[in-house]
Every structure is written in C-alpha cells, then in structure tokens.
Amino acid sequence: MDEREALGMLAAELPAAGDDAAVVGDAVLTTDMLHETTDFPPGVDRYTAGWRAVAASLSDVAAMGAAAEAAVAVYGAPTFDATEIRAFVRGARDACESVDAAYVGGDLDETAEFTVATTALGRTTDPIRRDGLGAVSRRPAGGATESADDDGIVGDGLSADDNTAVDNDVTADRDTRVDNDATADGDTAVDNAVCVTGALGRTAAALRLFDRGETERANDLFRFPPRVAAGRALAPYATAGMDVSDGLARSLHQLAAANDCGFAVSGDDVPIHEAVTETVDGDAERLAAATTVGEDFELLCTVPEECVADARADCPVPLSRIGTVTESSVTLDGDPLADEGWTHGG
C-alpha cells in the first residue's frame, strides 16, 4: 500500500480530511515528517535540513492564507552531534524568522536514520479551502458567509498532499473572499483562472546538483522560501488553493478532485525556475522537471478572472496565470495531463 492508497482507506475513517492544515478557531495547525532516505539526499547539510523541514510545515500555513505564528520540531538521529544539532536549530529558526514566526523548541530522539517531524501554527479568520470552488456563491467586498467543515486530519500523509491535521468543523467567515461566480446551486466556477506563485522545478534542479556533487548550490536551492506573505496576499482573491508539495501535475489533479472540476493548463505559461534551465536539457524535459518532481512548495490557487490583475499586484512574488478551470479533466496544451508526482511508499 502506498501513501495514496492509505489516504483512500483513511478517508472513510476520517471523512473531514481535505485541507493542508486543520482549522481550530482562528488557528491553523499542520504536521509533517521527513526521513533521510526519502527526503534528504547525500550532501544535504543539517542547516538546510532544519530550514526545509520547518518550511514544509510553514508552507501548509501559507496555503491556508494564514499568518505564521510558531513551529516546533522533533529531531531524531542514530547519534547526537552537537555541531549538527546546532546547525539544524539555526536552520529551523531562520526559516521561521523569514516569515515572522518563532521557532519555539521541540524534542530529541534516537532513531535508526535521521528523521524530523515538524508542526507549525498559524492564524486566520478566513482560511483558503482546497474545495472552495464548489462552495456557495460569494460576492466581492462584503459577500455572503459560508460554513466550512472540511478540514484535514492529524499526521503526515493524511490529507491529499500529506500535510494536514484534525478537523474541528468550524464556521469560517468569508466576508472578504471575492465572488467566484458560482451558479445558484453551487456548481463549480468554470472560467476561474488557475494561478501559481514563484517558479517551479528548484527541487528537481537541486537533486541533479546533489548528484553532481555541487552541494553548495544544491543546498541553497533546497532552502525554499515559505510563501506565507503570498498566501496572506492571495487570501482575499483565492477561491480554492493548496501548496505544490507533490508536483504541479499531481496538485492539479488533487485540486480538481476536491472541486469536482477540471483544469486546462498551458505549458508555455508554467513558470520554470532558472536552475532547471541550467541543469536540464530540452524543453519537454524541463517542463516535466517543473511539473512532476515536486517539493517546490509554491502555492496553487484559483482566482476569478476579473481579479487576476489585482491579485498579481498584491502578491509579493510573481503570480503566473497558467490556465483555466473547466468542467472536467486535467489537460496540458489540450492533451490529458497524467496524475504524476511524488508518492511516499510508491
């Protein structure tokens, strides 16, 4: 059984699963686990490991449109090395400080391989939901409110993209969310734009550089910036969203499934990180690296067409319009886009 099969099994036991983080009052809560053999290739230093582990959880906070508040981590290793532990904590602390959050501690444990578990806390009164496109109609500048009761579940890998926590069936005030032109019976808002922050493929490029022994540049790429500020800026506009942890292709399929819709994406509009151009030959290969390797932790969202310009203006990082919401199927340049990406246990 791989991760996705396990998720399918757990969906029946925990039907509230779905978002990148749990919503508890005005708090969002998320947890992740990373392992040396699957998440930290040879050459990753402990500073980068601390940054990346905590940043992965902060990315879930960002996907919810929340402000990041704090994070903790469990550090497990076969032996305790003072230099490595200090470097890890510095990386974790710097990742938190980069988004105005605090690293407030954690735990130590002896484990067979280097393993990290992280938890992050954020705050918002109006979270971005993964299934928001199928919700009731919302109106600009003071629209109707809606009940949101579809949060995630505790544990690594228990939501559609392995980063989520327990549901509390809260009601989320949506007064500030823009209209998504959904029909009166709540149908999906076809013709919303599909957008993504930043550029994709930095992890794919980093993995190639690690293989080449170019560890300094590779570690730099592995320390991705959590898009918390972007998530906050997009919150008034995004009708649905998630972070891109398993690759753009897989994330599009996950978002489509959550909203019972499809997406038509243009390959020419997918933003590809400059490091991919430096490390991967061929246009098709570069696009594949940017869409299927995953762990780029950019934000994927849908935005009403008339709000794209304003969303871009408010977003502190580049926001690319890569396609359009459709009634069904996920396509790239008119052809079916395979549901391909990172899967634990696959």
CATH, residue 55: 3.90.650.10
Rounded Cα distance between 175 and 183, Å, is 18
Query: Is 278 a member of any domain?
Result: yes
Rounded Cα distance between 173 and 269, Å, is 33
Query: Is 104 a member of any domain?
Result: yes
In 3-state terms the chain splits into helix, strand, coil percentages (rounded to 5) of 35, 25, 45
* 97: helix, strand or coil: helix
Query: Is 341 a member of any domain?
Result: no
Closest CA to 128 of 250, 223, 323, 258: 258
Rounded Cα distance between 42 and 303, Å, is 39
pLDDT recorded at residue 9? 79
Instruction: Give CA 136 to chain center in angstroms.
Output: 24
Query: Is 243 a member of any domain?
Result: yes
Counting the structural domains of the chain, the total is 1
Task: Judge contact between 230 and 317, C-beta under 8 A.
Answer: yes
- Would you list the DSSP string of 129-182? PTTGGGS----TTT-----------SEET-STTSEE-----PPPP-TTSPP---
Task: Judge contact between 325 and 191, C-beta under 8 A.
Answer: yes
pLDDT recorded at residue 68? 98
**Is pLDDT above 60 for 124?**
yes
Query: Is 344 a member of any domain?
Result: no
Q: Which domain holds residue 215?
A: 3-336
What is the rounded average pLDDT for all residues in the chain?
Answer: 85
Query: Is 82 a member of any domain?
Result: yes
pLDDT recorded at residue 16? 61
Closest CA to 34 of 24, 20, 23, 48: 48
Q: What is the pLDDT of residues 159-201, one digit of tens each?
A: 333 333 333 333 333 333 444 444 333 344 787 999 999 999 9
Query: Is 342 a member of any domain?
Result: no
Rounded Cα distance between 259 and 240, Å, is 8
Partners of 60 in the β-ladder: none
Q: What is the pLDDT of residues 9-45, one digit of tens each?
A: 777 787 666 678 989 999 999 999 999 999 999 999 9
Rounded Cα distance between 55 and 62, Å, is 10
Q: Cα-Cα-Cα-Cα dihedral of 31, 151, 331, 232, to 10°?
A: -70
Task: Report which of residues 189 and 287 the model is more confident about.
Answer: 287
Partners of 119 in the β-ladder: 31, 72
Query: Is 193 a member of any domain?
Result: yes
Rounded Cα distance between 142 and 308, Å, is 19
Compute the C-alpha angle 93/94/98, nearest 5°.
120
